[in-house]
Structure 1
Amino acid sequence: MSDQKAEHHVSEKGYNDEKYDIERSSIVLEEEENSPIPEVAAIVSNKDDPSTPVMTFRFWVMAVLFSILLSFFNQFFWFRTQPMTITTLVIQLLSYPFGKFLARVLPAGPLNPGPFNIKEHVLVALTANCAGGTAYAVDIIVIQKVFYAQDFGFLANFLLILCTQMLGYGMAGVLRRYLVYPAAMIWPANLVQVALFNTLHKEEELAPGQWSRFRFFLVATFAMFCYQWIPGFLFPVLSSIAWICWIKPDNLVLSQITGAGGLGFGAISLDWNNIVAFLGSPLIVPWWAQVNIALGFFLIAWVMVPIAYYTNLWDAKKFPILTPHLFQENGRGYDVSAILTDNVLDEKKYQEYGPLRISTFFALTYGIGFAGLSSMITHTWLYHRQKLVAQWKQSRDHSEDIHHKLMQAYPEVPDWWYGTLFIVMTIIAVITCEVWDYKLPWWGVILAVALAAFFALPVGLIQAITNQQPGLNIITEYVIGYILPGRPIANVTFKTLGYISMAQAMTFTSDLKLGHYMKVPPRAMFWAQLLGTVIAGLVNLLTANWLLRTQKDVCTENNALFSCPSANTFYSASVIWGVISPNRMFGSISIYNAINYFFLIGFVLPIPFYYLKKLYPQSWLEYVHIPVLLAATGMMPPAQAYHYTNWLALGFAFQFFARRYHPEWHLRFTYVLSAAFDSGVAFMVLLSFFIFTIRDAAMVDWWGTRSDLCPLEKKPYYPAAPAPPKPAA
């Protein structure tokens, strides 16, 4: 869960704990020139062999195979009501024995140039990493087909995915001088991957009876595959056990507070897929980061939301307590099609049908998002201004450490490669939006790209040091909502071009830094990343089209398995920011006008904590991190409250208890266990889909398959009222 990652220096204790883990799993370095950054020197090798083969036949086989599998699985799981993501960590683990197998069975020669080496392994993982995330533009395609009855065809859809996923890569050509080459730009998240690569390629010294990591991975994967049939098919109630609510299920307040669809107090999940569905694996997020997430969740979801709801703020009681759905003033569902003409807001129809209302919780999440964005600016200035300035100067001087010196052995990617990629993708974006009716003019495309380019370097500086990536999604939809109100598809297209182009630039740059650490030739990295992105875009689109065509009522509440919670939230955002526009939704005429004050609240909030921390050093204030607190509930919606509580419980068990009291086991097996659980669940879900779901077969109805055990955990979601009749001529 990248949005949840906290700053690397959030506390001295957390920093030292993470550095301790890195040091204990690192390779042994000789006393000679090394990185000036201690945590980098502890884990990244200061030696290299430029003759090591990289883009071998083995690489191409594994890169293409794993990119196809990873992009298909993750896009498939994205549609599910309980989505999940197979991380690149799984590919890192699976590709290692597969690479060794190919090295053993292929005939010696050009196809098999010696043992499977660590650089091949890194390049396979880099390719899969570019294929691992579902293309953000798929959301546009889904809401067009499902909610706006619009389909521009395969070519338009693929070009939109291609340009939005690859436009940011062209920016990386400029960013690498400031975010990859300097030693000061450490990209802390990459150090975990470096540790895993080094661990896998070291010969394990096993005591008698001790299991290897790979054996542990296989056994844990099989165990989770077998277990997952219970909550995933035979006994689904185990996915969300709202046992307190069961005491008196007809009590509305009890259901709202303890139900799985409400605040989830006391709700338990015994389903790994459900726990990691929105937040990722709690086994790999450091405990100090989870503490910040926990504080933010408790304050926002269990303090602010119930106070706002039960004081009836903004007519809260007319709507469910936690929902991203859209409503009329009377609490009925909002029929967006009733106010559109050719997918553009019709002012007359809007005045007749009435204003849009959202749940108080949904409105507050936008306010928290506003506060989180502005608090990031203040926090970065207060806590990191001196470091950022120093590192910016160091970046400009191109000061070299041992790793940058070693990389001089390889030809660098020419600037014109990046420049050409940037220009071509921008042209494709303009042509796509002009030829097809996205209602985003050419200057809108240029503005979106300019916003992404403008924010790329400052965001990169923050992420390279703090592991945080401030998102541009709110800013982009806010800006275009004012400039082009009433155009939902133009709004989400602009948001995707602006937000995802910047995010993809960060992905590419982060991968370049990983290759920099592992001494992978830059040109090999360039082509590997493009390969993974093109494969992923094609597979994502094919998979999405297949599910949209074959699944009845897909992405609606009528399809229990494939209700697409993320797409529904994306659609709601397209209505709020695109159709209704921010001026009507949050302007002076709106009941939600106070939400704008969250910008100011977020901007001011870090200031008192900063000065209190200076007054009381080494106190609990060391742990307070306002941007992380505010970003904690960034996945709500579509995530529910009980997802957080169960996620945090598992995080405590492994990242606090196991780490403190069983450090050797934790260091050796925790990451492997996380990857194994993801793999076991993935195999079970796919097998059950092809055996049962695709044939419309299901488990026999019994108490353990019921979804209405707490029937009042949500207020009834009334259907949308029809559009008012047209006045007589």
Structure 2
Amino acid sequence: MDKADLDNEKTYDEKRDAESHALELNEEDDSPIEEVRVTISNTDDPQMPCNTFRMWFLGLLWTAIISFVNQFFYMRQTQISIGYAVVALLSLPMGHFMARVLPTSQFKFFGRSFSLNPGPFSIKEHVLIGTMVSCNTSTAYAVDIVVLQKIFYHSHTPFLGGLLLVLTTQVTGFALAGALRKFLIRPAHMIWPSTLVTASLFRSLHVNSTTETEEDRGRMTRMKYFLLVTLGSFIYYFFPGFIFPTIGYIAWICWINPDNIILAQLTGANGLGIGVIAFDWSALVYYVQPLVTPWFAQINILVGFILVVYVMVPWAYYTNLWESQNYPILSAELFRTNGSYWDKDKVLVGGHLDPEKYLEYGPMRMDSFFALTYGVGFAGLTATVVHVVLYNGRELVQRWKSARLENEDIHSRLMRVYPEVPDWWYGSLFVISLGLSFVACVVYEYMPWWAVFLAMAISMFFVLPVGIVQAVTNQQPGLNIITEYVIGYMLPGDPIANVTFKTYGYIVNLQALTFTSDLKLGHYMKIPPRIMFMAQLISTLIACTINLLTALWLLDTRPNICTPEGKPFTCRSTKTFYSASIIWGAVAPARVFGNKDDAWYAPVQWGFIVGALLPIPFWYASRKFPNVGWLKLVHWPVLLAATSNMPPALPYFYTNGLFVGFIFAFVLRRYRYNWWSRYNYLTSAAMDTGVAISGLFIFFALQSWEAKFPVWWGNPEGAVDHCPKAGFALKNEFDWESEL
């Protein structure tokens, strides 16, 4: 640490007592944002322990466990992911136990005194443990590249090359997060809705009789409510998850005539899902997150969903656009022109496309829904940039010019007590990560050096506009399409370079926003920023290494892994990753969206221009007619990103999730505000926790031992929704019934 930093630290120490005294609060000194005001405490105790032995021990222990378990199950046919809520519950009794048994003696270490047991297990320690896990709940994306090389392309890269690839793609995003603090964390209106659920969970786990207010007297405590809802969710999930799967997607309209292909396509769970009723919480929250996402954002999602799924897709399919009636109405598969499946092995030689064999075998086709969603995704990207420039541009320029913390809310003022992370920490981390990225990509021949620069440029260009959208609406437009598209034109026929470029362009952006979200949680929960920095960085480095070692161990020890014969290690998600490398890398977008070798889907590229134009008239109208409130709520990035998760998401996920959102985010908030302000976010956390624990129990205690519930009407062997022809093509040139 240099002299400037030491002086800065001393200044903070001298100001601490004065500022702590100055931040004595009254009831009116609170956040201007209603959702934050009813969820986050407007007080803080700077003396509460957080940087403790207990925190580091439990945080790193759970990081190692989660990294191994989630990577292990990621490669199985049935994936299980242990998430944030489960670890929060299990680490709580462990923390209290350590607070009871560890010695309270003071120890000296490098001239500093510390205790293994500084007092009761605190909520700040708990939040840091959860943060270390949340950084690494999803397995490292780049591990799939290592698996791809070894299993599908039969090439080998030394362990160090794979490790550098995995580490740099995960950590570089963390370095970018530091540059976003002024724009996405300190402003009060950047609320990050998902962090409110997490904060509500932790507050409920640590509330006690001494912290209850007068308003709480005579009402069910948050902790009791959380436990009851979690228990109910745990018990109930046995029905859609094991005993009665049909209630997860009741396609009652299709039952009128399940042999009618058009009716099945429109009303089946695997079709457009009109009228499907879902009693499965995991489906309801898959994308919409109805209790968390603001109501105005849900309205935008609904409009976008209707335009794409109920207007554009039926029009395209039933007018036979791109001969789409040869294929199912909703599918992520690739086809030949006659409707049969397109076999990539017929046209690849050594993992690269053979142009002559491609012309001989025939072009690759997709259903109209799949093609249209690409076009909508193109539009969503440009709409995001234009929307943020129009609606947030002036504020961004002001914040760029000035480092002053203007218009701070109470939470920003409370955080002034703690020393901020110096910019040079983040800058040094970025420089080191970038340098190691060049080593990984150039030395180990993943992609050319200039591609590293370009991928980073795309990620950095979009990180702020995408972050603003996510911070306000809880929705995140992804960059996977644009990164594949760009490098697919620049390096056609090179699938490994394509997925590597996508990983640096997309995952660096995604990781930056994941880390930023965690920093916002730390902001709400008053976690010292420097401790948060170290916890995030160290846990990520450990998790990445364990992810890669676990995958390599499975590749070396499981026979026939990533093949049907290797069941249950069939690598379903990795196969999807492989298919993307074929579409965008080997075949390349010129043969899909261009005009080369009988490509059909070039019109969807107009989405880039359409998306850039759409926000302009609505922005102009909102300024021209400021009293028309709904004009300010039209959010084209969210509207266009509504169907970005389809497939694998299905239409009934949206319709049922938005219905639940109407009840909680609109009706209960407007007409039962007291209940909503106390229990809404807690309900979301409790339902998620119950489903997660129940899903783990069903898998480990029953399914892993080959235990199956008896076959009956509610648990059939075939189509669970009793609508099997939803996946059929309208024109039966190809024998779909024998195939499906």
Do the structures match in fold with TM over 0.5? yes
Distance 1:669 1:267, change over 3 A: same
The aligned residue for residue 530 of structure 2 is 523
Kept in 2, the 8 Å contact 1:235–1:705? The answer is no
The alpha-carbon deviation at position 615 of structure 1 amounts to 3.5
The aligned residue for residue 321 of structure 1 is 329
The alpha-carbon deviation at position 54 of structure 1 amounts to 1.7
Q: Please say if 1:593 is aligned against 2:602.
A: yes
Distance 1:53 1:209, change over 3 A: closer
Distance 1:42 1:713, change over 3 A: closer
Q: Deviations over 1:143-175 (max 9, x none)?
A: 556654556476554433221111122233444
The alpha-carbon deviation at position 269 of structure 1 amounts to 2.3
Q: Please say if 1:121 is aligned against 2:130.
A: no
Count of aligned positions: 691
Kept in 2, the 8 Å contact 1:135–1:165? The answer is yes
Distance 1:491 1:146, change over 3 A: same
Kept in 2, the 8 Å contact 1:84–1:273? The answer is no
The aligned residue for residue 581 of structure 1 is 588
One-letter identity of the residue aligned with 1:710: C
Distance 1:218 1:201, change over 3 A: closer
The alpha-carbon deviation at position 312 of structure 1 amounts to 0.3
One-letter identity of the residue aligned with 1:164: T
Q: Deviations over 1:578-629 (max 9, x none)?
A: 1121222111342111111111211222233334444373354444322211
The aligned residue for residue 481 of structure 1 is 488
Selected match of 2:431 from 423, 433, 440: 423
User: After the TM superposition, which of the residue ranges 322-331 and 418-427 deviates more from structure 2?
Assistant: 418-427
Selected match of 2:212 from 201, 204, 207: 204
Distance 1:646 1:406, change over 3 A: closer
The alpha-carbon deviation at position 111 of structure 1 amounts to 1.9
Distance 1:400 1:226, change over 3 A: closer
Q: Deviations over 1:455-509 (max 9, x none)?
A: 4455556655666654332222222111101112211110111121122223323
Q: Please say if 1:679 is aligned against 2:679.
A: no
The alpha-carbon deviation at position 326 of structure 1 amounts to 0.9
The aligned residue for residue 11 of structure 2 is none
TM-score (norm 2): 0.82
- The 5 A counterparts of 1:287-298 are 287-298=295-306
Distance 1:456 1:677, change over 3 A: closer
The alpha-carbon deviation at position 316 of structure 1 amounts to 0.5
SS of the residue corresponding to residue 618 of structure 2 reads helix
Structure 2 Cα separation of the partners of residues 43 and 647 of structure 1: 22
Selected match of 2:453 from 441, 446, 450: 446
SS of the residue corresponding to residue 327 of structure 1 reads coil
Q: Please say if 1:112 is aligned against 2:114.
A: no
Kept in 2, the 8 Å contact 1:345–1:580? The answer is yes
Where do 5+ consecutive residues of structure 2 fail to align? 1-22, 106-114
Q: Please say if 1:357 is aligned against 2:362.
A: no
The aligned residue for residue 5 of structure 2 is none
Selected match of 1:161 from 162, 166, 172: 166
Q: Deviations over 1:493-540 (max 9, x none)?
A: 101111211222233234334434444333211110013323432454
Distance 1:662 1:517, change over 3 A: closer
Q: Please say if 1:257 is aligned against 2:266.
A: yes
Structure 1 Cα separation of the partners of residues 90 and 462 of structure 2: 36
Structure 2 Cα separation of the partners of residues 343 and 532 of structure 1: 35
The aligned residue for residue 16 of structure 2 is none
- The 5 A counterparts of 1:113-262 are 113-141=118-146, 143-144=148-149, 147-148=152-153, 152=157, 156-176=161-181, 179-180=184-185, 190=195, 193-194=198-199, 197=202, 201-202=206-207, 203-204=211-212, 210-262=219-271
User: After the TM superposition, which of the residue ranges 651-660 and 39-48 deviates more from structure 2?
Assistant: 39-48
Distance 1:288 1:644, change over 3 A: same
The alpha-carbon deviation at position 638 of structure 1 amounts to 0.8
The aligned residue for residue 717 of structure 2 is 706
Q: Please say if 1:689 is aligned against 2:667.
A: no
The alpha-carbon deviation at position 89 of structure 1 amounts to 4.9
Structure 1 Cα separation of the partners of residues 541 and 726 of structure 2: 43
SS of the residue corresponding to residue 595 of structure 2 reads coil
The aligned residue for residue 726 of structure 1 is none
Selected match of 1:647 from 645, 649, 657: 657
Distance 1:317 1:287, change over 3 A: same
The aligned residue for residue 645 of structure 2 is 635
Kept in 2, the 8 Å contact 1:90–1:676? The answer is no
The aligned residue for residue 723 of structure 1 is none
- The 5 A counterparts of 1:377-416 are 377-395=385-403, 397=404, 401=408, 407=415, 410-416=418-424
The aligned residue for residue 669 of structure 2 is 659
Kept in 2, the 8 Å contact 1:55–1:524? The answer is yes
SS of the residue corresponding to residue 647 of structure 1 reads helix
Q: Please say if 1:715 is aligned against 2:728.
A: yes
Kept in 2, the 8 Å contact 1:90–1:675? The answer is no
Kept in 2, the 8 Å contact 1:326–1:572? The answer is no
Q: Deviations over 1:408-453 (max 9, x none)?
A: 6545445454344323333333333345453x12332233223323
The alpha-carbon deviation at position 679 of structure 1 amounts to 2.7
Structure 2 Cα separation of the partners of residues 38 and 241 of structure 1: 37
Structure 2 Cα separation of the partners of residues 181 and 194 of structure 1: 17
Distance 1:677 1:455, change over 3 A: closer
Distance 1:409 1:287, change over 3 A: closer
Where do 5+ consecutive residues of structure 1 fail to align? 1-26, 721-729
Structure 2 Cα separation of the partners of residues 464 and 549 of structure 1: 42
Q: Deviations over 1:700-726 (max 9, x none)?
A: 444322223322111279799xxxxxx
Distance 1:227 1:46, change over 3 A: closer
User: After the TM superposition, which of the residue ranges 335-344 and 188-197 deviates more from structure 2?
Assistant: 188-197
Structure 2 Cα separation of the partners of residues 462 and 223 of structure 1: 34
The aligned residue for residue 84 of structure 2 is 88
Distance 1:227 1:664, change over 3 A: same
Q: Deviations over 1:79-102 (max 9, x none)?
A: 677867665355556555553454
Distance 1:615 1:346, change over 3 A: same
Structure 2 Cα separation of the partners of residues 179 and 267 of structure 1: 38
The aligned residue for residue 67 of structure 1 is 63
Q: Deviations over 1:226-275 (max 9, x none)?
A: 33222222332232222222222221111111111111111222222343
Structure 1 Cα separation of the partners of residues 44 and 647 of structure 2: 47
Structure 1 Cα separation of the partners of residues 309 and 180 of structure 2: 38
Fraction of identical pairs, as percent: 52
Structure 2 Cα separation of the partners of residues 207 and 376 of structure 1: 42
Distance 1:560 1:636, change over 3 A: farther
One-letter identity of the residue aligned with 1:243: W
Kept in 2, the 8 Å contact 1:234–1:705? The answer is no
Q: Please say if 1:494 is aligned against 2:507.
A: no
SS of the residue corresponding to residue 131 of structure 1 reads coil
User: After the TM superposition, which of the residue ranges 467-476 and 320-329 deviates more from structure 2?
Assistant: 467-476
Distance 1:583 1:458, change over 3 A: same
TM-score (norm 1): 0.83
Kept in 2, the 8 Å contact 1:569–1:638? The answer is no
Kept in 2, the 8 Å contact 1:82–1:273? The answer is no
The alignment's C-alpha RMSD in Å is: 3.8
Distance 1:383 1:409, change over 3 A: closer
Kept in 2, the 8 Å contact 1:83–1:273? The answer is no
- The 5 A counterparts of 1:545-624 are 567=574, 569-589=576-596, 590-613=599-622, 614-615=624-625, 617-618=627-628, 620-624=630-634
